[in-house]
Amino acid sequence: MNSDLHIGAQKLIAQQRVEGITREEEFRLAAHLAECESCAAFAREMEQALSAFRGVTAEVPRGLVNRTQLRVRLRAEELRERAPGRTLLWAIAAVSWALGVATAPWVWRGFEWVGRQTGLPKPVWELGVVLWWAVPALIAAGAVIFERRGRAQELE
């Protein structure tokens, strides 16, 4: 008895169900199964196990669908209520960015003038310009992070 033949046949039995086999392999397998009782039993066991597995069902608990639909609707409402606030936030950010770009030369000159009048070193008033730009953006980023953290806690 060639054990490789049986191992090969059993591999084909599994392969047939997982990824499929060629027509030629199908014929070869059928011919082997007609002659080999142990491999035929293996194929039967595999088919019975799969058929039992396919028969496993899960009864959905009563009311779960309704509860879920209600929860999803409430969440959708909540998201809708928050949406205008978020749009407004983005609009303000966009306007602020546009104004920032448009006024950048004057802001620069203004800081430069203040620096000259007060005798501040150049890096200090330059840092002032950077902060003038960065602080609003940092506040906005902080607000978004704060909101996301709140949402994550809600999910917990």
Partner 1 sequence: MSATFHWTALERTGLRFSALMADDPKALARRLQQRDPDLLDSLIEQYQYRLFRYLLHLTANRERAEDFFQETWVRVLERGHQYDGKWKFEAWLFAIARNLVLDWHRRKKPQSLDALAGTGEDSAFDVKDERAATPLQEVLADEQRTGVHASLGKLPAVYREVLVLRFQEEMQLEEIAAVLSTPISTVKSRLYRGLEAMRGAMTERAGDGGAL
Which residues make up the interface to partner 1 (CB under 8 A)? 14-15, 17-19, 42, 45-46, 48-50, 52-61, 64-65, 67-69, 71-73, 75-76, 79-80, 155
Taking the complex as a whole, how short is the minimal distance between the CB of residue 64 and partner 1, in angstroms? 6
**Measured from the CB atom, is 65 or 138 closer to partner 1?**
65
**Assigned token pair, 136:** 């609003």
Which CB atom, from 17 or from 109, has the smaller least distance to partner 1?
A: 17
Give the max Cα distance, the chain. Answer: 103
Please tell me what DSSP assigns to residue 61.
P
Please check whether residue 13 is in contact with residue 39, taking contact to mean a CB–CB distance below 8 angstroms: yes
**Minimum CB distance to partner 1, residue 77 (Å):** 8
Task: Give the C-alpha separation, 74 to 144, whole Å.
Answer: 22
Phi, psi of 75 (to 5 degrees): -65, -40
**What is the smallest separation between the CB atom of 50 and partner 1, expressed in angstroms?**
6
Secondary structure element (H or E) that encloses residue 95, with its range: helix 64-118
- Based on CB atoms, which residue is closest to partner 1, 14 or 95? 14
Nearer to partner 1, 26 or 77 (CB): 77
| Least Cβ distance, residue 137 to partner 1 (angstroms) | 25
What residue type is 154 in one-letter code? E
